[in-house]
Amino acid sequence: MSAIRPATARTSLPEWRAVIDHTRTLAPQHLRDLFAEDPSRADRFSFEACGLFVDHAKQRITAETLVRLLALAEACGLESRIDAMFSGARINTTEHRAVLHVALRAPAGERIMLDGRDVVPDVHEVLGRMGAFAERVRGGAWTGHTGRRIRTVVNIGIGGSDLGPVMANDALKSYATPDLAFRFVSNVDGSDFVEATAGLDPAETLFIVASKTFTTLETLANARSARDWLVGALGTEAAVAKHFVAVSTAAAEVSAFGIDTANMFGFWDWVGGRYSMDSAIGLATMLAVGPERFGELLAGFHAMDVHFREAPLERNLPVLQGLVDVWNTTFLGSGSIAVLPYDHALRRFAAYLQQLAMESNGKRVTLDGATIDGYDTCPVYWGEPGTNGQHSFYQLIHQGTRTIPCEFIGFARSRRPLGRHHDLLMANVFAQAEALAFGRSADEVRAEMAAKGGVDESLVPHKVFPGNRPSTTILAEELTPHALGALVAYHEHAVFTQGVIWNVNSFDQWGVELGKVLATRIVPELEAAAEPPLSGHDPSTAGLIRRYRTLRGRG
Judged by CB, which is closer to ligand F6P: 160, or 300? 160
Judged by CB, which is closer to ligand F6P: 473, or 506? 506
Judged by CB, which is closer to ligand F6P: 431, or 512? 512
Return d(Cα 338, Cα 471) in angstroms, integer. 9
H or E element, residue 47? strand 46-49
- Tell me how far, at minimum, the Cβ of 120 lies from ligand F6P, in Å: 23
- Tell me how far, at minimum, the Cβ of 222 lies from ligand F6P, in Å: 11
End-to-end CA distance of the chain: give it in Å, rounded: 46
Query: For the chain, give me the number of helices (H) and strands (E)?
Result: 22, 13
- Catalytic member of 359, 384, 407, 525: 359
At residue 387, what is the residue type? T
- Tell me how far, at minimum, the Cβ of 475 lies from ligand F6P, in Å: 30
Judged by CB, which is closer to ligand F6P: 159, or 341? 159
Return d(Cα 352, Cα 382) in angstroms, integer. 10
Is 452 catalytic? The answer is: no
Return d(Cα 431, Cα 339) in angstroms, integer. 16
- Catalytic member of 391, 452, 457, 513: 391
- Tell me how far, at minimum, the Cβ of 311 lies from ligand F6P, in Å: 29
Is 391 catalytic? The answer is: yes
Q: What does the binding site for ligand F6P look like in residue numbers (CB under 6 A)?
A: 158-161, 211-213, 216, 219, 273-274, 359, 509, 512
Q: Please list the residues that pair with 182 across neighbouring strands.
A: 153
What is the distance, to the nearest Å, from the Cα of residue 423 to the centroid of all Cα atoms in its chain?
27
Return d(Cα 277, Cα 167) in angstroms, integer. 9
Longest Cα pair distance anywhere in the chain, in angstroms?
Answer: 80
Judged by CB, which is closer to ligand F6P: 204, or 269? 269
Is 22 catalytic? The answer is: no
Helix-strand-coil split of the chain, %, nearest 5: 55, 15, 35
Are 239 and 259 within 8 A, CB to CB?
A: no
Judged by CB, which is closer to ligand F6P: 323, or 365? 365
Indicate the length of the chain as a whole number.
Answer: 555
Residue 472 backbone dihedrals phi, psi, to 5 degrees: -115, 140
| Strand locations in 69-108 (E) | none
- Tell me how far, at minimum, the Cβ of 509 lies from ligand F6P, in Å: 5
- Tell me how far, at minimum, the Cβ of 262 lies from ligand F6P, in Å: 21
- Catalytic member of 64, 292, 516, 531: 516
Cite the active site residues: 359, 391, 516
